Structure 1
């Protein structure tokens, strides 16, 4: 789980990836609420209900405050403010104009907002939702015959239609943005599960998925693919002499150089520690050796610049091909054996696995 300021949040806020769905829902819901309440001010003045016009002036301030709190990461407080405002607005408007005005229907939308308040326990959320439902039923019982102020039936009909329309639009928007945020969260979690956090490369789990997929494709197309094990030479010495921060920088530097040497269909990932695995589809072992040699030269000729000085980095490579139907574990073991033989023979070199 990512903790801290989310990359999608505004500067200075405390929005986190875990709460991003809630942020998005409240953000768009409060924007719609602001527009609706601003529109109610002239409407109630035109209808001759100044008390509701002034109430909506205060409501605009409350919704603006809720929007600001949401941006600051205080989503539960924003929800509570919205909840209180909607309840008071529904009570006052329905008492004055009656059930036929359509204002009680905003309580239906409010139940959805209540469910998003993660600071409340499930029991409290359920109680609050039940209380809203009972309030809705109570308003129907006491105001279905009319409110304290009489408005023409035609005016009430249009008012009811508009309120129902806004209520359904709010529910639709809340559902849509919650769905969008949920999909983004699922995608982010999938990326975290398959990505090395330091280098941004596929991790060991993702590389196994790629290997299995390439293994199936090679059988279907009857063409081999190449696996290459690459390991940073003297990586422990780099950490010991220059610190782990320098070691991390070397890993990122090498990752970028390897990616730059690959074709679009190739894959490079962090296999573990300072070791990388490369998967090169539709390639023979000889072509794989040549590709590894190009990568070796690219890394050796590109020192990492730190504090105005160049830190030389080299890689050793072990190469093997995987013919259609070959055992994946065996191919990886042979590439790994070739890698360690390259290390034993002096490092900064490419060796191919022995055939058979």
Structure 2
């Protein structure tokens, strides 16, 4: 083999120094172009990070102007001129409206359709924009989106860097506002309403899945307490679809004070850290991610006190994210963004399965089961 290679190489024509230099120059030029392209792409990535907040603010602008509802109410796609006319904004803003719609189309919030012979751009709704239509009662998360886009939270995001540099237990929200989120909600009716309306809006998609998996979840259960259930949106869905389950909502006095007790859901004023009314099952939807590990263990222990043994059908039903357990990359990012939101406004966090297992064990539960994953959240059953 070595002799054959030697003969093969020796039979090749010699390469002149000029040709070698040409090869070398072309290689170095190509390498430099690749490096330049990588640097340019890196720069573009940095611009997208630095200006990413403008996507959020443009999205908020579309909601403030009522663009999704305008297209929905038109019953068909709208040209830029039609949209400009319906929104009743000054003529001088028409070209700027196009720029706004161009960005929102690029990020997938709207879709631009073929205008045909018309040179005016034509816009329609996407699945995303349909989720914030006010008349869409079955799947409308507009209240929750408006809540998260309120200045109450947005201003706090500017303090994350300061928070990291301070040896303080106060979160960025407290650094900005001088008190906790729950304290503001208890004394300012407008903030309290915004949060409660947001929680109702966040339940709409969960409700469908609770109904879908409910035959197994609520089998053999006669009573359920929705801890921190706010206005009772989810409890009402459960009571309507599973009439054998008597539903109670436990929440703070300022949350449940205006809720009537003459319907299919009973409202109880109380503190989940101190007491949870007895029931076959306890429901916790987006509650534990607001609290530290120590507080979660306290809450879970109160829940364990409220339910019977596993043999008697006792369990805690948790609707929360299990970080790393999702169906899409988009859901993974949502989990991480929600985790930063928790860091910013609460003492809590989004947890992975090991984190959840630790809480359940420390609270005295014997086992758990992740039933299914819904987008970036999961349904977990925990047994005493």
Shorter-chain TM range is under 0.3
Would you tell me which structure has more helix in proportion to its own residues?
Answer: 1
Structure number with higher relative contact order (C-alpha < 8 Å, ≥ 6 residues apart) = 1
TM-score by length of 1: 0.22
Point out the structure with max Rg over C-alpha.
Answer: 1
TM-score by length of 2: 0.21
